[in-house]
Amino acid sequence: MFNLPMEKLEKIAQNRYIAVIVAAKHARKINQKILEEKENLTEGEEPPAQSSSTKITTEALKDLLEGKINFEFPKKR
């Protein structure tokens, strides 16, 4: 199980809720990529082995903590 350091998340984003929204959007992108790869398989071809047994949302949170996700806050008017 992945222990999520909330202090790090709050340093990356304004607060933990924004960090979770950013990670959720990234998780959707990861999932979409996986689904597209499965759709592009030809008949008889086996799908690629899952790279890890972790959930997509956990991977997205790890990517956020490692700085692999770039995002910016909308400018206030």
For residue 12, the one-letter residue type is: I
pLDDT of residue 29 exceeding 90, the answer is: yes
- pLDDT value, residue 51: 60
Burial class of 42 by CB neighbour count within 10 A (0 to 12, 13 to 18, 19+): exposed
**Does 73 or 15 have the greater pLDDT score?**
15
Q: What residue spans of the chain are helical by DSSP H?
A: 6-12, 16-39, 56-65
pLDDT of residue 9 exceeding 70, the answer is: yes
Judged by average pLDDT, the poorest of 11-15, 34-38, 46-50, 69-73 is 46-50
Domain ranges within the chain, ordered by starting residue: 6-45+52-65
Categorize the per-residue pLDDT at 32 as very low, low, confident or very high, splitting at 50, 70 and 90. very high
Sequence length of the chain is 77
